[in-house]
Structure 1
Amino acid sequence: MPPRAAALHYHLRRNHFSTAPPRRPDEPSDLVSTVVSILTNHRSKYRWSQLLSHLGALPPRPPPLEPLTPAEFSQIAIRLTKKPRIALNFFLFTKRHSLTDHTVSSHSALIHVLCKSRLASQSLALIRDSIRAWGELIVFKGLVGTYKECGGSPVVFEFFIKACLDAKKIDGAVKVVRKLVKGGFRVKVPIFNEVISGVCRSRGGLVGYDIYKEFFGDDGDGISDDGRVRAKATVQTFNALMMGFYRDGALDRVVELWDEMKEGNCEPNSRTYNLLIAVYCEDGNMTEAEKIWNEMRLKGILSDVTGYNTMISGYCEIGNTERAEELFREIELSGLNATGVTYGHLIRGYCKSGTADLTLSVFKDMLRKNFRPEASTLQEVVSLLCNSGRVCQALEIIRGVMYNFGLVPKRSSFGILIRGLCLEGKMDEALKLQAEMVGKGYEPDGELYAAFIDGCVKLGDQTLAEKLRKEMADMGCAEIE
């Protein structure tokens, strides 16, 4: 249609004095059919310019009214159900050229089209945008209202709940699940589990447990009080709850859930075992941790590196580095790869036991494998080496880590090393390191001045010592006794 004819068609179609008989809202218009034809029959190179021409968006333009109603867009989207990507591109096209003042209903129609084709990322993105615009409950109502007309799929509600959780709309997700259950919709157990996990993260384990009881019944067996069969809790359900209580520090509740799960004949998986082992390790009860570790192996459940890291950390905390070493060697034999976390636990264990040679050996092996150490791990290594009279090695370590990994050591790490250098009379090296420390944003404090003063006194340079005392007083730093 030529641009002028398009403009005239556009004007007449919206003229309140038109004598044409009114069209039912659900009856496709000639415009809908024409747009669908252009979208499906024209090559992508030409379809958009054809649409702009047909809708009167090219000069000469009609009056500034919307060329497409939301209802017409919905009809177009529905008729493009088997071509969901074209429907999405058309939606973006209408927004880019301000062709439609979209509503909840027009968004809902497109969401149904995308969800039926299981275009997950596109569906979730559009749902999140809709929630930001109108709120989760209004969008949910829109999806329910357009479900039949759009030939909706149940997956739309699964995506909707996931989008609520992604957007941190936890209360909205819970309300929607309640409405779906009340309406007789069969909610899948993984969706229940995701909601419970979201509640545990945002509201804590206790609230998550209440939601679990609401969804799965008082005993989690899937039978409600009125005898209706509903979903049965799975190992993922219990994992979500156990993680929730573990984050809260309610370690006793994690053990209680383990017992509840076993009583319900729900078999744990490696994640469940890892959580329970973490509880016992954190409590220093390595006897129980080892018992659970062995039970897992007897059942043929292979641990991942997270489980090994937890056990190694637990043994290092109680000073049993021999058993930690055994587990460390076992990682490679199991076909797994140690991580930076693994090395960090083992290094801290050696530091606690005061074995500088082993600490240095493992630390260097960690660096060779290109694992970036934590600042706290670096501090423990520097402290151990300085206390062992190996200040030069500590200086080499800290400089190497700063250069190769861009790691900024803690202020206390600089302080420990500078004090060690001063005590050995290596004032030039100490001053260079102090300059690097200032370059990292750390200002000298009283403890650092005291270290330099002690070094000057040891070298017999009383003049410089007095000068530093005066400078320290001018800086307002209290002298360390």
Structure 2
Amino acid sequence: MGSSGSVYRATLASLSGVTIAVKKFRSCDEVSEEVFACEVSVLPRVRHRNIVRLLGWAANRRTRLLFYDYLPKGTLGALLHGSGGGGGGASEVEWERIRVHALHPRTRSLSDFQRGPASALVSKKKEKNACRRRPLPRSHCRPLLPVLRRPRPPVRRRGRLRSHLPPRQVKVVPPLLGPRPSPLPASAAAAVLLLLRRRPRTALRFHAFALRRGLLLLPAPLVLSASAAHVAAASRLRGAALDVLASAARHHSPAEIFNALAATYRRFASAPFVFDLLLLAYLRSRRDALAAASVARRILVAGGRPLPSTAAALLRSLPSADAALDMYHQIYTRPSPKTNRLLLPTVHTFNSLLLACYREGNCDGFDTVLKEMDKYSCKHNMCTYNIRMAGYCDRGEVDKARVLWDEMIHENIQPDVTAYNTMIGGYCHAGEVGMAEEMFKDMEIGGTDPSATTFESLVRGHCMAGEDDAAMLVRADMRRRGFGMAPEVVEELLEVLCQTGRVEDALGILREEMRREEFEPTRRSYEVLIRRFCEEGEMEVAIRLQAEMAGKGFKAGSEVYHAFIRAYEDSEDFDMVDRLRKEMVAMSTDSGSHVSSCSEHNRRMNLVAFVPAKVFWHAICFIWQSLRYDQLFFTTYSACHSGYTPHCMKDM
């Protein structure tokens, strides 16, 4: 009987009375089915003297049977309890004899060590010119396993030796210390990888183990890295091969790695794209496009050609459009006689060339790329149109971009959000905000969800046109969808609102955006608000903004000084005007340093203390309520140096 079924003895009359064991499963549930399938799949492949051989199986909807060799030695119950069974009973198990047989090999090994020359561990602690023989603590005992280190010769010492235990009862551990084993030769490690090439993950684990345990010289020999890369590439383990080659690229040149890969290529029956992986390793880990280009040239000289995806990645990473075009001609238009002509360029290859031209602002180079594209009969895709439309929109030629848009629609290519953002941004930059709004409506009707860039382009377009109400409506729609504006867009919106006299709304927008953790206001945003509040005579609000600006690390420039000077002139506070002018002159002559009384501290904090001390204490209350506490100390320090203390803090 077992947990999954019962075992019966059966005699096959058709096979001259052959006796077999039949296991019948009790149930047909999912667990029983999994156990049955596991035994059927595993047992036929296992050959071991302690495992009964599986002869066959049979199954239908209600019954599952397994056929084994019959072993006429009784059952486990008969062996343990002496009951009747297939073996006719058995004697009681002699557990003491089993324990003795289990402990005998271990005691024999201890006896061998005890008879040896190193019969005890002698401590080096000197006490009255005598040594003590002490048992080794249990924390220092090591398992008695064979090691690879040479034991030291026994040390003979003079003196009286005493032991806490009688002879033959001292625990003895052989000395395991010795010189560090010599590093494993690189050829031997490569031979191990060659033997394990059919088990790539095991081979890679051995490679990592050899490097981690210091079995090899550091840096790792190049032949070992090449062998590991070949094993991974032959098994299509792209990520593992990239990691190995990236590690080798830190210590060796591209020529050395390429030659090592070429020398061991046939021995490991590797895949050709291992050289493409070397090229990608330089692009991704080292960010070295020139080294990757040298690898590509060596591939061409050897009669190969990079894969189209690898070539596209190389063309995108080159520093200039001329270098990208030259590399394209080397790979595809000027091949050697041995080059494989089946690896033709794809649309992604030409998109990489278009992108290289776009980054330099060379829209005239689009025609050269398009001619090469027509030569290979490559159809344009969405990325092709996006790059070309972006190039024309940046130059202000929205009409040409619109022609490409109509051509794309005619080719039944569905525009994506990048295409819509490109056209909306082009229309807004050209001042045609109405066309941008129409494009936005078509975008929503077509089922394309807008992004934050879409709304930012519309806000900038309305700000350029001076339409503050429309910009506020777009911002409200943007916040309702969960998007936030970039600091540069907020700066433009604040400037438009301040020009139209809506400075309170501008300050509210800045406060709302600052609630987002990722938002950092710009210097220009503070300057616009400070200037407008000074023009309206709201000096306390302007001073609070200046204190907050200093807390953010922005020094007050000439525009802020002129705004406060004009405001104090209007209020006929000429003493403050003279102080501010002197400080502005000192700032310009001293490269933006502050007043000498607190120059050392305030130069670090970028805080300008040119406002009255009484007003600074009002700024403290505002900062305490709305800003971070670390700004409070800076403002308090400046106010205390100016000699003013409010009534609420005189007793502190």
TM-score (norm 2): 0.60
Please report how far the alpha carbon of residue 474 of structure 1 lies from its aligned counterpart in structure 2 after TM superposition: 4.9
Where 2:412 maps in the other structure, the secondary structure is coil
CA separation in 1, counterparts of 2:414 and 2:235?
37
Is the contact made by 1:453 and 1:468 (CA closer than 8 Å) also made in structure 2?
yes
The 3 A distance-change label for structure 1 pair 176 and 320 is same
Deviations 1:420-442 (A, max 9, x none): 11111111111111110011111
Where 1:251 maps in the other structure, the secondary structure is coil
Match of 1:400 among 498, 512, 515: 512
Is the contact made by 1:445 and 1:477 (CA closer than 8 Å) also made in structure 2?
no
Deviations 1:342-388 (A, max 9, x none): 22211110001100001112123333434342222111101000000
Matched, 1:142 2:142: no
Deviations 1:38-96 (A, max 9, x none): xxxxxxxxxxx99x955549972553342522111112222222332332222222222
- The amino acid of 1:73's aligned partner reads A
CA separation in 2, counterparts of 1:75 and 1:325?
68
CA separation in 1, counterparts of 2:545 and 2:328?
56
Deviations 1:239-296 (A, max 9, x none): 1111111111211112332244235422111000011111211121111111111111
Matched, 1:130 2:242: no
TM-score (norm 1): 0.80
Is the contact made by 1:217 and 1:224 (CA closer than 8 Å) also made in structure 2?
no
Structure richer in strand, relative to its length: 2
Give the equivalent residue in structure 1 for 2:552.
440
Match of 2:314 among 195, 204, 226: 195
Higher mean C-alpha deviation, range 387-396 or range 84-93: 84-93
Please report how far the alpha carbon of residue 448 of structure 1 lies from its aligned counterpart in structure 2 after TM superposition: 1.0
Give the equivalent residue in structure 1 for 2:416.
304
Give the equivalent residue in structure 1 for 2:271.
153
Please report how far the alpha carbon of residue 175 of structure 1 lies from its aligned counterpart in structure 2 after TM superposition: 3.2
The 3 A distance-change label for structure 1 pair 276 and 473 is closer
Please report how far the alpha carbon of residue 140 of structure 1 lies from its aligned counterpart in structure 2 after TM superposition: 1.2
Give the equivalent residue in structure 2 for 1:182.
301
Match of 2:389 among 268, 274, 277: 277
CA separation in 1, counterparts of 2:399 and 2:370?
17
Is the contact made by 1:305 and 1:338 (CA closer than 8 Å) also made in structure 2?
yes
CA separation in 2, counterparts of 1:126 and 1:412?
49
Alignment coverage as a number of residue pairs: 423
Match of 2:503 among 374, 391, 404: 391
Deviations 1:287-306 (A, max 9, x none): 11111111111111122211
Deviations 1:392-443 (A, max 9, x none): 0011111221232453322222111111111111111111111100111112
The 3 A distance-change label for structure 1 pair 429 and 95 is same
Structure 2: gaps of 5 or more residues: 1-105, 107-141, 152-174, 591-652
CA separation in 2, counterparts of 1:305 and 1:54?
65
Where 1:371 maps in the other structure, the secondary structure is coil
CA separation in 2, counterparts of 1:272 and 1:407?
34
- The amino acid of 1:296's aligned partner reads M
Give the equivalent residue in structure 2 for 1:106.
224
Is the contact made by 1:372 and 1:405 (CA closer than 8 Å) also made in structure 2?
no
CA separation in 1, counterparts of 2:584 and 2:293?
60
Higher gyration radius (CA): 2
Give the equivalent residue in structure 1 for 2:523.
411
Give the equivalent residue in structure 2 for 1:325.
437
Matched, 1:217 2:330: no
Identity of aligned residues (%): 32
Give the equivalent residue in structure 2 for 1:96.
212
Please report how far the alpha carbon of residue 208 of structure 1 lies from its aligned counterpart in structure 2 after TM superposition: 1.1
CA separation in 1, counterparts of 2:420 and 2:360?
23
Where 2:435 maps in the other structure, the secondary structure is helix
The 3 A distance-change label for structure 1 pair 187 and 106 is same
Where 2:457 maps in the other structure, the secondary structure is helix
Matched, 1:356 2:468: yes
Q: Which has the higher contact order (CA 8 A, sep 6+)?
A: 1
Taking only aligned residues, the RMSD between alpha carbons, in angstroms, comes to 2.8
Structure 1: gaps of 5 or more residues: 3-48
Is the contact made by 1:104 and 1:142 (CA closer than 8 Å) also made in structure 2?
yes
The 3 A distance-change label for structure 1 pair 71 and 385 is same
CA separation in 1, counterparts of 2:179 and 2:338?
61
Is the contact made by 1:255 and 1:276 (CA closer than 8 Å) also made in structure 2?
no
The 3 A distance-change label for structure 1 pair 72 and 475 is closer
CA separation in 2, counterparts of 1:397 and 1:93?
58
Structure richer in helix, relative to its length: 1
Please report how far the alpha carbon of residue 135 of structure 1 lies from its aligned counterpart in structure 2 after TM superposition: 1.4
Please report how far the alpha carbon of residue 188 of structure 1 lies from its aligned counterpart in structure 2 after TM superposition: 2.6
Higher mean C-alpha deviation, range 441-450 or range 414-423: 441-450
CA separation in 1, counterparts of 2:268 and 2:375?
45
- The amino acid of 2:493's aligned partner reads V
Is the contact made by 1:216 and 1:230 (CA closer than 8 Å) also made in structure 2?
no
Where 1:118 maps in the other structure, the secondary structure is coil
- The amino acid of 1:99's aligned partner reads L
CA separation in 2, counterparts of 1:337 and 1:419?
39
Where 1:404 maps in the other structure, the secondary structure is coil
Where 1:296 maps in the other structure, the secondary structure is helix
Give the equivalent residue in structure 2 for 1:77.
193
5 Å-filtered alignment, 1:26-41, equals: none
Higher mean C-alpha deviation, range 387-396 or range 65-74: 65-74
Is the contact made by 1:446 and 1:477 (CA closer than 8 Å) also made in structure 2?
no
Where 1:134 maps in the other structure, the secondary structure is coil
